[in-house]
Structure 1
Amino acid sequence: MSDDIPDGTEDVVGVLTEQIETRFGMGMAQLTAAVAEEPAAHPDATDIVKWHGLLAESQAVLDRTEDDLLAALETQPSEVDDPTMDLAHRVNAAVTARDGRALVVRWLLDPDAPGKKDLAVERLARAHRAGRKGPAVQTSPPYRPATAPASAALTAKAAQR
């Protein structure tokens, strides 16, 4: 099993599904049911299940759009008409959406991905703040110097004259 996203000759969703199942030690249906039952128990699994679902949806849209394009191309003479060209653009957009979602799933699966360490630290800080009682900001009054700044004192003297 390769860690790279396939180049279209392989099933992108299938490869990522295998990686998810290997990481969590259960099938997607089982993992999806576990996340639905208790989404807060494992935030990483919840995110991965959500994005895997979005990936599967975008793959289904891509498959339908490709089928529509192929059917339209079979009826075309040598030149492609505007509606068929629009279908080609929809296929390109569907590929982009599918690949973007695949990248998100890959990022979620990689514990060492850029930005992951900062995200883990932020989650830990949020959890710590959630358990804290009291205000989140300092409540003491700000420090005020005992004497007025020199420019204010000069302005006051000038006004007295």
Structure 2
Amino acid sequence: MSDEISDGTVDVVDVLTEQIEARFGLSMEQLKAAVTEAPAANLDATDLVRWHGLLLESQTVLDRAEHDLLAVLETEPAHVFDPAHDLVRRVEAAVLARDGRAQAVRWYLDPTAPGKQALAAERLARFRATRPGPAIPTSAPPRPANAPQAAQGVTR
């Protein structure tokens, strides 16, 4: 993962990672280890670690989709054609997944977020005790058969 996006802005994953580390006073690796050792000790930490992992997965899918789209556009820059349209849709889907997961991480980081106080917080605690995981599939979208393969080690 790159430290900065090509336009010079800081990557959303890096910002959220720093916020998580600041909240718990631990690096993500230390926090992951603590959650693995005692997942019920701090449910907010457990949820944040899980959603951060999903966010990283989404960012990887987005990076790959953007790389594939750029590769196609570089080969035929003057023409927009079906493979490029498919790749644009893949990028859009990856952005939506990444941004949705970033919103979940932001929600867990905000102690005053809607639904975290009073009756809503009690309901959330009961829900947490019974839920199996995210309701949205977390696998990467299918790649078109004619899409170029991503090169190893290439970041944006």
TM-score by length of 2: 0.72
Tell me the CA shift for residue 123 of structure 1. 5.8
Cα shift readout 1:52-103 (whole Å, capped 9, x = no counterpart)? 0000000000001100000000001412110111001100110010000000
What CA RMSD, in Å, does the superposition of the two structures yield over aligned residues? 1.8
Asked which structure has the greater CA Rg, the reply is 1
Separation of aligned partners in 1, 2:61 and 2:123:
35
Structure 1 residues without counterparts, runs of 5 or longer: 1-7, 127-161
Q: One-letter code of the match for 1:120?
A: A
Tell me the CA shift for residue 119 of structure 1. 4.1
State how 1:104-115 maps to structure 2 within 5 Å.
104-115=104-115
Question: Corresponding residue for 1:149?
Answer: none
Paired residue secondary structure (1:113): coil
Paired residue secondary structure (2:113): coil
Paired residue secondary structure (2:76): coil
Question: Corresponding residue for 2:122?
Answer: 121
Structure 2 residues without counterparts, runs of 5 or longer: 1-7, 127-156
Separation of aligned partners in 1, 2:93 and 2:9:
18
Separation of aligned partners in 1, 2:124 and 2:70:
47
Separation of aligned partners in 2, 1:45 and 1:120:
16
Separation of aligned partners in 1, 2:76 and 2:60:
25
